[in-house]
Chain A
Amino acid sequence: MSSFLNRVTRSRSSQASGSVAKDRLKLVLIHDRTDIPPAIMEELRDELMGVIARYVDFVREDVEVHITRESRSSRLVAEVPLRNQPRTRSRR
């Protein structure tokens, strides 16, 4: 979006405010649209890990549960890196 001149003169650290606005909006809307408070997300993450642990071995610290947004719909995505699994299942 920024003009050529801006791209030349602005360093990467001072991102144009328009794109800062866009990033902030995307984040805030993820929460607005799902209405799931962070504490509940934590609980969900813990329970999910409990279930998954019964079937596969995974790296607990690297589990990520978050909500992504596409168009006007949102999607719950869990990333669970598996430990020592030679028959790797494709990870998103």
Chain B
Amino acid sequence: MSGKVLTVTSGKGGVGKTTTVANVGAALAATGSRVVCIDVDLGLRNLDVVMGLENRIVYDLVHVIEGQCRLRQAMIKDKRMPELYLIPAAQTRDKTAVSPSDMVRLAEELKPDFDWIVLDSPAGIERGFRNALAPADQVLVITNPEVSAVRDADRIIGLVEAERKGPAQLVINRVRPDMIERGDMLSVDDILDILAVDLIGKIPEDESIIIGSNRGSPVALDPDSSAGQAFRNIARRLNGEEVDFVQPQVKTSFFSRLGRLMGRGA
């Protein structure tokens, strides 16, 4: 088996990279894939808490790179899933402790044993991002329906293309169908039109994401969560399945239905 390296990045911070890594990782593992998620955000470790594995860290990414432990020792197994592992970031070191070629070497070492190696990139366009991009076979760019986040996504998409790692695929997180309906949010089509990339997921704003991260339990494992469903759909698309995009559910008023009848609306 030769695994694929999936790098999840965004440019802007706080748009949902770590949430996406935890949930897509869990959703892929739930379908029977062997998955390892790696937190590449050195010094700002977070994937461990989102996945709920923070109490089991002994070794981290930098220990592996510097040869202070064996690779297997730094891999924390998620006991809820058949084959899901985390390699946490170092918390006391900065991004210069790892180089892009270190990451390529690490990914090559993991590929024979895994279907998916999912990298959680730091925000920004500097060394940490380069570390996460270097071994990528496929890149997901996360954005929110906001001017600043889309602008940064555009920049990142350009950099991914310049490094010949494209075409990147887009995940739009925190979509509010009600706000799009009333014209107060960039629609998915607006964003795709501006960025000219393919969409691989749109995640509705969903409080279950916050509840899930409070508990350290990814919503992708919650069958009732609409965001969880959206993450599971991303996993299926990554596995090559054609999955229709779920139409956002908005409570329709008489007028919006009338509007749609007249050929307007979403």
Contacts and interface: CB of A to CB of B under 8 A. Distances in A.
Interface of A: 1-8, 10, 16-19, 21-22, 24-26, 28-29, 32-33, 71-72
A18 B183 CA distance: 5
A62 B157 CA distance: 36
A17 B197 CA distance: 23
A72 B194 CA distance: 8
30 contacts: A1-B180, A1-B187, A1-B190, A1-B266, A2-B264, A3-B255, A3-B256, A3-B264, A3-B265, A4-B258, A4-B259, A4-B260, A4-B262, A4-B265, A5-B182, A5-B255, A5-B256, A6-B183, A8-B255, A18-B183, A18-B185, A19-B183, A22-B190, A25-B147, A25-B150, A25-B151, A25-B186, A32-B155, A71-B196, A72-B158
A10 B180 CA distance: 15
B154 A2 contact: no
A18 B187 contact: yes
Interface of A is mostly: helix
B205 interface: no
Range of interface residues on B (Cβ < 8 Å): 20 to 34
Contacts of B259: 3-5, 7
Contacts of B150: 25
B253 interface: yes
Contacts of A2: 182-183, 264
B147 A24 contact: yes
Interface of B is mostly: helix
A25 B143 CA distance: 14
Contact of B194 (A1, A6, A7, A26): A26
Contacts of A16: 182-184
Interface string B179-209: 1111111110110001111000000000000
B249 to A, nearest CB: 15
A80 to B, nearest CB: 29
Contacts of A18: 179-180, 183-187, 190
B151 A32 contact: yes
Contacts of A6: 182-183
Nearest to A70: B196
A16 to B, nearest CB: 3
A34 B197 CA distance: 18
Nearest to B190: A22
Nearest to B252: A3
Nearest to B253: A5
Contacts of A25: 147, 150-151, 186, 194
B256 A4 contact: yes
Nearest to A9: B255
A26 B266 CA distance: 21
Interface string B242-266: 0000000000010110111010111
Contacts of A29: 151, 154, 194
A3 B253 CA distance: 10
A17 B264 CA distance: 17
A18 to B, nearest CB: 5
**Closest 7 pairs between A and B when the two form their complex, measured CB to CB:** A4-B259, A16-B183, A2-B183, A5-B255, A71-B196, A3-B256, A72-B196
A39 B61 CA distance: 46
A10 to B, nearest CB: 8
